[in-house]
Chains A and B, each alone.
Chain A
Amino acid sequence: MARYAARIEISHLPGVADPQGATVERALPALGYTNVTELKIARSIRLVVEAADVTSAHIQVSEMCERILANPVIEAYEVAISQLAAP
């Protein structure tokens, strides 16, 4: 078994409103940034998982996303896995 670091980014599915992003985008012109569009706010989760190989780590973390870390009804997720050096 090896240890893998996972970086998970959870964002809204296309077409689902992002009220947080929209509100922040509206705040920027007040500071003079009138050139900003398409601001989206996503969440990032980091974890370390023990797995046989990188494929297994990816499958397990994706399953975690489906079951609890993301809400597939309104959210998309991306998983990036990298192997950690042995402790």
Chain B
Amino acid sequence: MSARIGVIQFPGTNCELDAVHACEVLGASAELLWHRESSPISVDAVIVPGGFAHGDYLRTGAIARFSPVMNALQEFAEAGGPVVGICNGFQILCEAAMLPGALQKNAGMKFRCEMSTLVVASQRSVLTADIELGAELRIPINHFEGNYTCDAATLEQLRGDDRIVLRYLENPNGSLDDIAGICNDTGNVVGLMPHPERACESVLGSIDGAALLGSLLRHALITATR
């Protein structure tokens, strides 16, 4: 049995086919979910991929969070369904308050497009549950607004609840506490700025993304059979 993954597509999304391809390379089946779709989500896990949903007009994710699919996504997540937001998808999950905090313009106003090294900081999320704590993963970043920020109380809560799941080894964007990814309090909703779907085949320079997405796919099946 292989997991069925839904990949949400907004107008302006541009990493959806990469995400579908990566899932297929890892043995899952994947399908696109159009953002106007409001019916309940029936796949085993959902990826909110990168890009510029609705042109990133107003703010990143500000308009996307009101797309009809987002209500269905909230319900899916509340029922325990695994949801991973990558890059613009992370920004959308924050705007939708499915994850705390916000993503600001990078410190130094530089668009960063390069390989980054991440350190696994928590196994509490579906994306990192199967990876050793402290493991270093080479995953590319490609963003202008990846500078994670939140208030002091939220940061304390994220730390205390072990919800900072990935940190940059070298902070590329000014992100608070070197945060590259966080999860919700039940670990089934995860957001990260780096792109694991671009690091699942050796021809792409790293296969470390397969560890992250592989963990997601296994947990998608566990959730589905529960």
Which of B63, B100, B101, B147 is in CB contact (< 8 Å) with A17?
Answer: B147
Stretch at the interface among A30-38, A46-54, A65-73, A78-86: A65-73
Question: When the two chains form their complex, are residues B105 and A73 in contact, meaning their CB atoms are under 8 A apart?
Answer: no
Q: How far is the CB of A63 from chain B (nearest CB, A)?
A: 14
Contact with A along B118-154 (1 / 0, CB 8 A): 0000000000000000000000000000010111000
Residues of B within 8 A of A (CB-CB), count: 21
Chain B residues within 8 Å of A17, by CB: 104, 107, 147, 149, 174
Complex partner residue of A19 from B62, B63, B95, B107, CB under 8 angstroms: B107
The reply to whether the CB of B58 lies closer than 8 angstroms to some CB of chain A is: yes
- Could you tell me the distance between the alpha carbons of A22 and B104 in the complex, rounded to whole angstroms? 13
**Complex CA distance for A20 and B100, rounded to whole angstroms:** 22
Partner of A68 from the list B62, B107, B151 (CB cut-off 8 Å) is: B62
Q: Which residue of B lies closest to A69 (CB)?
A: B58
Residues of A within 8 A of B94 (CB): 73
- A71 to B95: give the CA distance in the assembly, Å: 8
Q: Are B58 and A20 closer than 8 Å at their CB atoms?
A: no
Closest beta carbon of chain B to A6's beta carbon, Å: 16
**Chain B proximity of A14: nearest CB distance (Å):** 11
Q: Is B102's beta carbon under 8 Å from chain A?
A: yes
Q: Among the listed B59, B106, B108, B174, which residue makes an inter-chain contact with A71, where contact means beta carbons less than 8 Å apart?
A: B59
> Across the interface, which residues of B come within 8 angstroms of A69, CB to CB?
58
A73 to B63, CA, bound (A): 16
Interface residues of A in 3-33 (CB under 8 A from B): 15-17, 19-20, 22-23
CB-defined A-B contacts under 8 Å, sample of 12: A15-B151, A16-B149, A17-B147, A17-B149, A17-B174, A19-B108, A19-B174, A20-B109, A71-B62, A71-B102, A73-B100, A73-B102
